[in-house]
Amino acid sequence: MNNKRIVVALGRNAFGETFPEQQTNVKKAACAIADLVEAKYQVVITHSNGPQVGMIQTAMTEFARLNPDDRTVAPMSVCGAMSEGYIGYDLQNAIREELLNRGIYKTVSTIITQVRVDPFDIAFSEPSKIIGRYMTKEEAEAEEEKGNYVTEEEPGKFRRIIASPMPIDIYEIDAVKALLDADQIVIAAGGGGIPVLQQGSHLKGASAIIEKDYTAAKLAELVDAETLLFLTAYDKLTIGKGTPEEKSFDNVTASDLHGYIKAGHFPAKTTFPKVDASIRFVTADSSRKAVISNLDKAKLSLAGKSGTTITA
């Protein structure tokens, strides 16, 4: 176990909703990462790709629709790869610049990362990940005719939903480790990584988006990190928010979190994946810890002065 090796998972608030917002927001994320590098941590970064992957998928679909004779819709796995590339490009350059401004000379590398998923994962028959723009009823029916899943989010407003399977393994993990051993900063498995199905020697892209929090935990496990750090828009894990029973946690055990989950806390689409991934990570090895904290307080949270620390 390398107690100075850490996996940092950046939430969607780290990038914003548009290209200009991303250009601005990555600088804020870069400052948080640079603080950790200054503190002598070996850092692996993973990140959200929502809404970016949805925008890419929408753009590629519209392009194919406008050019039906010679263009086809890009597979979801390709859209995920594109999002890994362009988010990684912005993020690695922002981190590099921030480090140089502090007199720190380290290479920052982005790895396009493929993550193995199980073709029999129940997620493929029960899709839950919402992507893309709103559609009319007619457009939604056309998607269903193609075999895609659609949900009605609001009356008359439909969106596509796809599978969100669990990560099993990361194919490029040896490259991640080699770069870490060479004292580089690594960005990997953006957006949960590209989901692939192993078919002999061939890797087939899956029409899915892996929940990035679970991939972050898998990445931390495979690089032998002691700490998994989720950087979010809120300071601490909180239950009963806005009620007389509101409670925030400085420290909490995995077993206690199980109890809170059974009691109905932690929304499935927001906080739950981070909590569940944290539980899985720390219970597999009692020397590990997971931390959930505000992006602005990354360094403080690792010192136990902010955020929520989760242990076995």
Instruction: Give start and end residues of each alpha helix (H) in 39-149.
Output: 52-66, 76-101, 137-145
Q: Which residues, other chains included, contact 12 with Cβ-Cβ below 8 Å and sequence gap of 6+?
A: 48, 50, 51
C-beta separation of 213 from 277 below 8 A: yes
Encoded amino acid at 155, one letter: P
> Could you state, in order of their start, the residue ranges of all structural domains in the chain?
2-128+163-233+281-302
- Using CA atoms, how far apart are residues 70 and 66, in angstroms rounded to an integer? 10
C-beta separation of 216 from 9 below 8 A: yes
> pTM of the predicted model, to two decimals?
0.93
Tens of each residue's pLDDT in the chain, 312 residues = 666 999 999 987 678 777 788 888 899 999 999 999 999 999 999 999 878 887 888 888 787 778 877 777 888 899 999 999 999 999 999 999 999 999 999 999 999 999 999 999 999 999 988 887 888 999 899 888 888 899 998 888 999 899 999 999 999 999 999 999 999 999 999 999 999 999 999 999 999 999 999 999 999 999 999 999 999 989 999 998 888 889 999 999 999 999 999 998 987 777 999 999 999 999 999 999 999 999 999 999 999 999 999 999
- Using CA atoms, how far apart are residues 167 and 9, in angstroms rounded to an integer? 15
- Using CA atoms, how far apart are residues 32 and 26, in angstroms rounded to an integer? 10
As a CATH number, domain 2-128+163-233+281-302 is 3.40.1160.10
